[in-house]
């Protein structure tokens, strides 16, 4: 048995990671122990070396997460008693530290591997010396013990075999004769361990660790040098030869690639290039630029911007188009290559002359420009919450409506939504619900024109058991009770019979409902949102709708304009409906800009519902992914009213004057309706340049401008 010296057992300094209020920054700074132990629920869970978390003698930036990321679990630590058996001692030599327990099993501290070796080394009796020899012999790694005079005083056979020397060549010899003297000197000065130092000579190839031995006075008593064998030098030479062959293969690959390939180091210096290079871009041979910084070339104005600089700044793949002095366009793509620490080690730049390609794609880019703009606007709406995916608009009129909805949504006032069929009245009602303080409460909708009169009353007000023949034996709650605390949307309110209008008026006034067959009123808190496509004022005059109910419903009136009055919304809605069809049927249809122009000028008497059906008809009937104006024109009759309408002349005037007057009126009317010369020319059946020229002439003669008209 080997008994540990009491002065070698170090105290355990612990930190509870369950207590965020503990001043652990102060605890870290104020103790001199090299290790800190982490405690969770009064149990040791890990340990950490302080030097792994402290930087510049400060720990204020250290967090609990930092401690946990750098910690070693307690399960990986050897646990031993104060009286150590030989097998356990062997295990300790392979560990950084070991926990020490007394005879009762209580933790008394910890001991480091260096302290165990130092203690064995200091023992004068033969048993301890033999024990040290046995331990050193049993370790598969090479061990060399260096004293304060920097001489090797002990070693094992494994180490001698690795450095190909005998004990006579090593014992009592300066350690720097064999190992790196600077590392040995630095360990004595800094008291820090130096790891993974590669040392290759004609005789050996080893990996060396230098660890200090600290005595009880906290001074460096010596050094333990741990050696691990590496492949033989001959094998390393073969590996180098293999790398050379790979290098030849790489050069062969680079010489066959069409693109110009550059390899740049982290300093922006060119270190390799392919045989294919763009001579007009550089103006010199690339071999003359080896070792030179491409960043300096940018500063000299040879090109701008530098893809090398952008990759170093952004630390990601970068693609840019550069232009030479001769007008050539160069596509340069820079890819960073990172090392193990996440730092940029190399930058691979691939460049290609795309001058001709750019010319061929110019027209296509112009065509897609408007489509991308609409798509971007649509994507903006998609990023809103789930409800606003249904709210597709950009017109000022709809903006005003949504502003009004946001204002009234936090009130419980009755709202009457008026508008033509298919304009989206139900969506407005849902917006009031989603934006208001009732959004977590029920939203129920009932079409007053879709349910027979004899059933509508029971649906709205409910009934008690035994109210009428065929009634549910348990009775039934009506829509008013089900929507309690929420919103009840009454669509087609103009279709409600007069007999039920009286009962609805009572609900609005008293905020209570009486089920059929009952005499007991039930208090409710329901916000009513009604909608109609009829003129309720005229119905009041005709006696088909109660005047008092109309005024009770018309507290907050909202008029939803038809689609023809907000043409700005048509492209967005068209894209939205087409995207839904693409996702449903896994297609990739898209509308061309001229097709969108044609959809915008159509009056859409059926409003959004008609537009949705038309988009589905176009997608189902399309033979190509791009739906253009010619194809759309087969389904729409645009401009027919303008062609069919005949002019009426009421007095005699010169023919040319009449023609000029009619032409001026038609151009002004077309520009007022279609806003752009392109659309106006299409409706008038003439060229865009003709409309633009004559329109400019008209404006100059009138010496006036028309607000909101943008010429293309």
More confident residue, 688 or 613: 613
What is the rounded CA–CA span in Å between residue 431 and residue 390? Answer: 9
Question: What number of helices (H) and strands (E) belong to the chain?
Answer: 28, 30
Q: What is the CATH number of the domain that holds 652?
A: 1.10.10
Instruction: State the pLDDT at residue 642.
Output: 41
Q: What is the CATH number of the domain that holds 550?
A: 3.40.50.300
Q: Do 406 and 523 belong to one domain?
A: yes
Least confident of 173-187, 300-314, 617-631: 300-314
Per the domain annotation, does 188 fall within a domain?
A: yes
Task: Please give the sequence-ordered ranges of beta strands (E in DSSP) within 504-567, or none if there are none.
Answer: 512-513, 522-523, 527-532, 556-559
Least confident of 101-115, 182-196, 529-543: 101-115
What letters, b where the CB count within 10 A reaches 16 and e where it falls short, cover 220-241?
Answer: bbbbbbbbebbeeeeeeeeeee
Q: What DSSP character marks residue 25?
A: H
Instruction: State the pLDDT at residue 342.
Output: 85
What confidence tens digit (pLDDT) does each residue in 286-306 have?
A: 777 788 888 877 777 667 678
Q: Do 549 and 417 belong to one domain?
A: yes
Q: What is the CATH number of the domain that holds 217?
A: 3.30.450.20
Residue 448, classified by CB atoms within 10 Å of its CB into exposed (0-12), middle (13-18) or buried (19+), is: buried
Q: Give the mean pLDDT of 589-604.
A: 86
The percent of residues in the chain predicted with pLDDT above 70, rounded, is 78
Q: Do 10 and 90 belong to one domain?
A: yes
Q: Give the mean pLDDT of 23-42.
A: 73
Please state the separation of Cα 422 from the chain's center in Å: 37
Instruction: State the pLDDT at residue 578.
Output: 93
Q: Do 205 and 274 belong to one domain?
A: no
What is the rounded CA–CA span in Å between residue 45 and residue 579? Answer: 54
Q: Is the pLDDT of residue 673 over 90?
A: no
Q: What is the DSSP string of 176-229?
A: GGTS-HHHHHHHHHH---EEEEEEE-SS-EEEEEEEEEE-TTS-EEEEEEEEEE
- Using the 3D structure, point to which of 586, 613, 636 is the last residue of a domain: 636
The percent of residues in the chain predicted with pLDDT above 90, rounded, is 23
Q: Do 466 and 591 belong to one domain?
A: no
Instruction: State the pLDDT at residue 648.
Output: 55
- Using the 3D structure, point to which of 517, 537, 561 is the last residue of a domain: 561
Q: Is the pLDDT of residue 638 over 50?
A: no
Reported as a pLDDT band with limits 50, 70 and 90, residue 388 is low
The dihedral through the CA atoms of 67, 72, 75, 77 has a sign that is negative
Per the domain annotation, does 279 fall within a domain?
A: yes
Q: Do 85 and 152 belong to one domain?
A: no
Tokens of 273: 């290039």
Q: What is the CATH number of the domain that holds 585?
A: 1.10.8.60
Instruction: State the pLDDT at residue 615.
Output: 93
Reported as a pLDDT band with limits 50, 70 and 90, residue 380 is very low
What is the rounded CA–CA span in Å between residue 383 and residue 229? Answer: 59
Per the domain annotation, does 434 fall within a domain?
A: yes
3-state secondary structure of 146: strand
Q: Give the mean pLDDT of 217-235.
A: 76
Per the domain annotation, does 124 fall within a domain?
A: no
Residue 621, classified by CB atoms within 10 Å of its CB into exposed (0-12), middle (13-18) or buried (19+), is: exposed
Per the domain annotation, does 222 fall within a domain?
A: yes
More confident residue, 397 or 654: 397
Instruction: State the pLDDT at residue 481.
Output: 92
Reported as a pLDDT band with limits 50, 70 and 90, residue 272 is confident
Q: Do 44 and 96 belong to one domain?
A: yes
Domain interval for residue 10: 2-112
Q: What DSSP character marks residue 420?
A: -
Q: Do 312 and 406 belong to one domain?
A: no
| Residues 507/467, Cβ–Cβ less than 8 Å | no
Q: Is the pLDDT of residue 140 over 50?
A: yes
Q: Do 48 and 84 belong to one domain?
A: yes
What confidence tens digit (pLDDT) does each residue in 298-338 have?
A: 777 667 678 888 888 888 888 888 776 667 777 888 899 98
Q: Is the omega angle on the peptide bond into residue 305 within 30 degrees of 0, that is, cis?
A: yes
Per the domain annotation, does 121 fall within a domain?
A: no
What confidence tens digit (pLDDT) does each residue in 102-134 have?
A: 878 788 888 877 677 666 655 544 445 555 566
Other Cβ atoms closer than 10 A to 688:
16
Per the domain annotation, does 710 fall within a domain?
A: no
Reported as a pLDDT band with limits 50, 70 and 90, residue 238 is low
| Residues 370/596, Cβ–Cβ less than 8 Å | yes
Q: Is the pLDDT of residue 55 over 70?
A: no
Q: What is the CATH number of the domain that holds 25?
A: 3.10.580.10
Per the domain annotation, does 712 fall within a domain?
A: no
Q: Do 438 and 303 belong to one domain?
A: no
Reported as a pLDDT band with limits 50, 70 and 90, residue 340 is confident
Count up the domains in the chain and report the number.
Answer: 6
Q: Do 413 and 337 belong to one domain?
A: no
Q: Is the pLDDT of residue 82 over 80?
A: no
Q: Do 557 and 570 belong to one domain?
A: no
């Amino acid at each position: 048995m080997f008994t540990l010296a009491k002065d070698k057992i170090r105290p355990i300094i612990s930190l509870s990671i369950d207590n965020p209020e503990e001043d652990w920054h102060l605890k870290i700074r104020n103790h001199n122990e090299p290790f800190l132990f982490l405690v969770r629920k009064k149990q040791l869970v890990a340990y950490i070396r302080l030097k792994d978390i402290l930087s510049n003698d400060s720990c204020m930036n250290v967090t609990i997460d930092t401690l946990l990321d750098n910690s070693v679990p307690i399960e990986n630590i050897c646990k031993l008693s104060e009286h150590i058996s030989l097998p356990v001692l062997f295990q300790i030599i392979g560990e950084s530290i070991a926990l020490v327990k007394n005879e009762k099993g209580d933790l008394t501290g910890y001991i480091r591997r260096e302290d165990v070796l130092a203690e064995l080394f200091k023992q004068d009796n033969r048993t301890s010396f033999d024990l040290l020899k046995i331990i050193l012999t049993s370790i598969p790694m090479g061990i060399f013990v260096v004293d304060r005079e920097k001489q090797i005083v002990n070693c094992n056979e494994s180490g001698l075999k690795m450095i190909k020397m005998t004990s006579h060549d090593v014992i009592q010899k300066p350690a720097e004769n064999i190992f790196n003297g600077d590392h040995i000197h630095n360990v004595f000065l800094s008291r820090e361990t130096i790891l993974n130092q590669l040392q290759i000579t004609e005789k050996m190839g080893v990996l060396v660790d230098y660890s200090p031995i600290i005595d009880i006075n906290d001074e460096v008593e010596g050094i333990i040098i741990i050696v691990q064998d590496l492949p033989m030098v001959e094998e390393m030479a073969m590996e180098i030869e293999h790398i050379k062959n790979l290098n030849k293969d790489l050069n062969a690959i680079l010489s066959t690639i069409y693109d110009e390939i550059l390899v740049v180091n982290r300093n922006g210096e060119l270190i390799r290039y392919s045989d294919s290079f763009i001579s007009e871009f550089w103006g010199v041979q690339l071999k003359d630029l080896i070792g030179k910084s491409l960043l300096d070339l940018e500063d000299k104005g040879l090109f701008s911007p530098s893809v090398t600089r952008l990759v170093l700044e952004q630390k990601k793949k970068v693609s840019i188009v550069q232009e030479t002095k001769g007008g050539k366009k160069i596509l340069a793509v820079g890819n960073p290559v990172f090392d193990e620490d996440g730092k940029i080690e190399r930058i691979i730049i691939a460049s290609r002359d795309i001058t001709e390609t750019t010319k061929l794609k110019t027209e296509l880019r112009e065509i897609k420009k408007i489509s991308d703009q609409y798509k971007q606007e649509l994507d903006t709406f998609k990023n809103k919450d789930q409800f606003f995916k249904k709210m597709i608009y950009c017109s000022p009129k709809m903006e005003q409506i949504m502003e009004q909805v946001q204002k009234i949504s936090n009130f419980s006032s009755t709202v009457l939504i008026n508008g033509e069929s298919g304009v989206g009245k139900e969506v407005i009602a849902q917006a009031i619900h989603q934006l208001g303080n009732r959004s977590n409460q029920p939203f129920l909708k009932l079409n007053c024109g879709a349910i027979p009169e004899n059933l509508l009353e029971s649906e709205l007000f409910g009934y008690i058991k035994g109210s009428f023949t065929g009634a549910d034996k348990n009775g039934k709650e009506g829509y008013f009770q089900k929507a309690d605390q929420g919103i009840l949307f009454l669509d087609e309110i103009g279709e409600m019979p007069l007999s039920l209008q009286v009962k609805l008026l009572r609900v609005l006034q008293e905020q209570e409902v009486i089920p059929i067959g009952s005499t007991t009123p039930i208090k409710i808190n329901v916000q009513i949102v009604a909608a109609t496509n009829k003129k309720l004022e005229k119905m009041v005059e005709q006696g088909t709708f109660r005047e008092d109910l109309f005024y009770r419903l018309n507290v907050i009136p909202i008029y939803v304009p038809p689609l023809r009055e907000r043409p700005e919304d048509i492209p967005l809605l068209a894209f939205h409906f087409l995207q839904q069809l693409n996702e449903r049927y896994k297609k990739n249809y898209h509308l061309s800009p001229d097709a969108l122009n044609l959809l915008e000028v159509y009056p859409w008497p059926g409003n959004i519902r008609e537009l949705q059906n038309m988009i589905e008809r176009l997608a189902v009937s399309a033979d190509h992914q791009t739906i253009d104006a010619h194809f759309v024109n087969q389904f729409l009759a645009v401009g027919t009213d303008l062609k069919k309408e005949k002019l009426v002349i009421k007095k005699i005037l010169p023919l040319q004057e009449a023609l000029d007057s009619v032409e001026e009126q038609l151009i002004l009317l077309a520009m007022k309706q279609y806003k752009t010369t392109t659309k106006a020319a299409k409706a008038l059946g003439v060229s865009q340049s003709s409309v633009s020229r004559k329109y400019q002439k008209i404006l100059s003669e009138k010496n006036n401008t028309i607000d909101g008209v943008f010429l293309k």
